[in-house]
Amino acid sequence: MALKKSELYSSLWSSCDELRGGMDASQYKDYVLVLLFIKYVSDKYAGVPYAPITIPPGASFKDMVALKGKPDIGDQINKKIIGPLANANKLSDMPDFNEPGKLGSGKEMVERLTNLIAIFENKSLDFSKNRAEGDDILGDAYEYLMRHFATESGKSKGQFYTRAEVSRVIAQIIGIHDAATTSATTVYDPTCGSGSLLLKVGDEAVWKLYQLF
């Protein structure tokens, strides 16, 4: 059964409701996008040998769920989930889930993070088997959120992130679809912000690989 985009988008925007008020959209977007990423890669790759993303033991979304309600939930997310995932996959600039200035302190932080995690437990958000009719469900969800974050911040989409149409053209101009790309191929974006351009470059490279096999 294909994952309905309407259900996904509704759940994602509900997760934003848990964070509004404590911070600007340009800040809380990081928490929502990281939760989406962890849920997606856990569903797709946890326990899968030679997966493109390494999920260290004890650092999956399921392990994050086990932290709900704990008085030190923010600190534990950082140490048990974010840290191991970042180290195993050479990720950087991950948000701090133990930041009282943004997430509140004490009971407020516990409730906010617990409710945020619970939203992503929705059974309709099972990325392990569901796909939205062949679409890039993660990429579509990412762009949906970025559009709305731009509106929340009072900025145009072009100020907040590189529009999909522009990214797609640039990805074609650099000629990666003609290159013999492998899993070791890298692309450098010196002004990388949201990563939308890199996503489109990845699409072009994957398209070429599909044509080769």
Q: How many domains does the chain have?
A: 2
Distance (Å, whole) CA 83 – CA 66? 17
Looking at the domain assignment, is residue 10 inside a domain? yes
Which of these three, 93, 112, 133, is where a domain ends? 133
- Judged by DSSP in three states, 48 sits in coil
- Tens-place pLDDT, residues 70-115: 999 999 999 999 999 999 999 988 999 999 988 888 999 999 899 8
CA 166, 169, 175 angle in degrees (round to 5)? 145
CATH number at residue 81: 1.20.1260.30
In a domain, 60, yes or no: yes
Give the tens place of pLDDT for each residue, 21-34: 655 656 677 788 88
pLDDT tens digits, residue range 41-77? Answer: 999 899 888 888 999 999 999 999 999 999 999 999 9
Indicate whether 38 belongs to any domain: yes
**Rounded to whole angstroms, what are the CA distances from 200 to 140, 159, 203, 205?**
11, 18, 5, 9
Domain annotation covers residue 115: yes
Contact partners, residue 124, CB within 8 Å, separation at least 6: 3, 4, 7, 8, 11
Q: Are residues 123 and 176 in the same domain?
A: no
- 49 neighbors 72 (Cβ within 8 angstroms): no
* 79: Cβ contacts below 8 Å, ≥ 6 apart: none
Do 27 and 83 have their domain in common?
yes
Domain of 197 in residue numbering reads as: 162-212
Does 120 lie in the same domain as 46? Answer: yes
Question: Which structure tokens are listed for 109?
Answer: 């932080």
Please report whether residue 178 resides in a domain.
Answer: yes
Query: Is the pLDDT confidence value at 183 over 90?
Result: no
pLDDT tier for residue 165 given thresholds of 50, 70 and 90: confident
Q: Is residue 94 part of a domain?
A: yes
**Segment 127-152 mean pLDDT:** 64
Same domain, 129 and 193: no
Q: Distances in Å between the alpha carbon of 159 and those of 139, 141, 146, 198?
A: 19, 19, 11, 17
Q: What is the band of 210 on the pLDDT scale with cuts at 50, 70, 90? A: very low
